[in-house]
Structure 1
Amino acid sequence: MCNQLGCELKGDPREPLQTSFLHPVTGEKVFVVMDACHMLKLAHNMLQAYSPIATATTGQINWRYINHLNDVQKKDGLHAANKITDKHVYFENHKMRVSLAAQTLSRSVSVALRTMRDLGYSQFKDCEATAEFIEIVDRLFNTMNGRNPRAKGFKAPLGALNWMERKAFLSRAREYLFTLLTKDGTPVYQSKRSIKIVLVKFMT
């Protein structure tokens, strides 16, 4: 549909994409933005399918830390302020449920992973890259999905007061996503499960 309307979203993401088309009556530009909920599900499913994923700086992003977190919480009978359960780990029959993706790739899970590491749980020793990935994706989702005018932080909608801060974050997040590599060294954005974050026009 986007291509039929005059957009081009399949090129090299490092090059400017054609993310708008002209309204046939007014001649004004109409911009296309990917559905944030669907993009979150793609990121979630990609993490589980492609782990481990290499980053340029902090090591490997790995789904196994989600497994470890669930195992520890089940064993101890306590949750570290997150909603991870078996249904989040074994989600094969529920890949289209946004709630599972949102609860897995959430700041609370990122904080929980780092907390387990800081408490000395050996299985979380190298979880920083995973925690960072989850935190960035959570912020991207909140930025693109924000609609409550009373919300704060990254859940607040884009506006004049937070635009420069958000623009800087979106630029950093975009470059970060370009650094991610699959096991065979292929950039994730060139893989079959590419994550296209169409933010080019926001940053120009």
Structure 2
Amino acid sequence: MKCLLGGKRYGQVKAMKGLSDMGLGSDDSSQMATQAYVFMLVTIKDSWKLPLAYFFIDSIKADMKANLIKIALEKCNKIGVQIRTVTFDGCKSNIATMKNLGCELDDLQNLKTDLKHPSAEYNVVVCLDACHMLKLMRNTFESKKVIHTTGEKSIRWQYLSELYNLQEENCLHLANKLSHRHVHFKNQIMNVKLATQLLSRSVAKAIDFCNKTLNIPAFRESENTIEFIEKLNDLFDILIARSLDDYGFKHPMNKANSQKILSLLSQMNSCGVGLRRW
């Protein structure tokens, strides 16, 4: 993952400045660092996480990222830590890095989502971060306004805008959290909560209510958009499932719910392969 150098403290911005450092013992770099490339160790069965390594960079190529990942896997294995998954956001350089490690994430028909551990006898699964991918989906939806799926079904951003306008004009909310920040999110584009609350089942149900119960003309033919938002909501719940106390799609997969979850994953896979913006 990446994070900017700097932050806020006591109301003032405190900037950190320094040269790029890849930890190779050389201090003759003249390139000013603008980011920190960070490895974070996160446990599967517990609730702690630990910074594993960080490198001050201005930019970093995919082959260098791949080498650093291999080193991290080897060092963890050496002290008895088993790394089962590598999770990252969806930027192009990360996809290229995974290709260098033997994965294939560009060809949706021939996905290869694991890599050979460099010093252990098992494969490591690679996983795009669900929160970041939902934000990218929201950003694409807002930018293109209309997305088409298999079967010429159209998904339209206008229904989200119409719902926001309706609620603002009437000073009410149809059991959802939709606000100006959710529809006009560019100043808070990294805020995950805004994306999850926008592409949520409560928003889908509100659009459906406006269409079928209130019979508002602006919401006619919104069925495909409603279905898509609901499925995105359920898919996100599956991908972040963690606690055994949760219910529905938020409950981790087991024998009782596996068929239902696998069915939705299959539907979303078919839908995702067919998405286009024209």
TM-score, normalization by structure 1: 0.83
Q: Which residue of 1 aligns with 2:27?
A: none
Please state how far the C-alpha of 1:179 moved relative to its aligned partner: 2.4
Q: How large is the RMSD of aligned CA atoms in angstroms?
A: 1.5
| Corresponding pairs, count | 181
Per the alignment, residue 177 of structure 1 pairs with 272
Alignment match of 1:6 (pick from 76, 88, 102) = 102
Gaps of 5+ in 2: 1-96
What residue is the counterpart of 2:253 in the other structure? Answer: 158
Counterpart CA distance in 2 for 1:18 and 1:181 is 22
Equivalent residue for 2:119?
25
User: Cα distance 1:123–1:145, how it changes in 2: closer, same or farther (>3 A)?
Assistant: same
Aligned-partner Cα distance in 2 for 1:165–1:122: 34
Q: Do 1:55 and 1:129's aligned partners in 2 also have CA atoms closer than 8 Å?
A: no
The corresponding residue for 1:121 is 216
Question: Distance between the aligned counterparts of 2:180 and 2:247, measured in 1?
Answer: 31
| Superposed displacement of residue 58, structure 1 | 7.2
Q: Secondary structure at the match of 1:151?
A: coil
Amino acid aligned to 2:165:
D
Between 1 and 2, higher relative CO (CA 8 Å, sep ≥ 6) is seen in 1
Query: Are residues 1:40 and 2:108 paired?
Result: no
User: Contact 1:22/1:29 (CA < 8 Å) preserved in 2?
Assistant: yes
How much has 1:161 moved relative to structure 2?
2.3
* Further displaced range: 128-137 or 20-29: 20-29
| 1:77 matched to 2:147 | no
SS of the residue aligned with 2:118? coil
Aligned identity (percent) is: 37
Q: Aligned-pair distance for 1:130?
A: 1.1
Write the deviation string for residues 22-60 of structure 1: whole angstroms up to 9, x where unpaired: 222321111111111011101111110112112334732
Distance 2:240 2:126 in 1: 14
Query: What is the alpha-carbon distance in structure 2 between the residues aligned to residue 2 and residue 56 of structure 1?
Result: 28
- Counterpart selection for 1:66 from 160, 176, 200: 160
The one-letter code sitting in structure 2 at the alignment partner of 1:3 is K
- Cα distance per residue 1:58-96 (max 9 Å; x no partner): 732111111100111111111111111111111111211
1:126 is paired with a residue whose SS is coil
Runs of 4+ in structure 1 deviating by more than 6 angstroms, as ranges, are none
Secondary structure in structure 2 of the residue aligned to 1:139: helix
Higher helix residue share: 1
Flag structure 1 segments of 5+ consecutive residues without an equivalent.
Answer: 184-204
Pair 1:55–1:19, CA change in 2 (3 A): closer
Corresponding residue number in structure 1 for 2:61:
none
Q: Which of the two has higher C-alpha Rg?
A: 2
1:146 counterpart residue number: 241
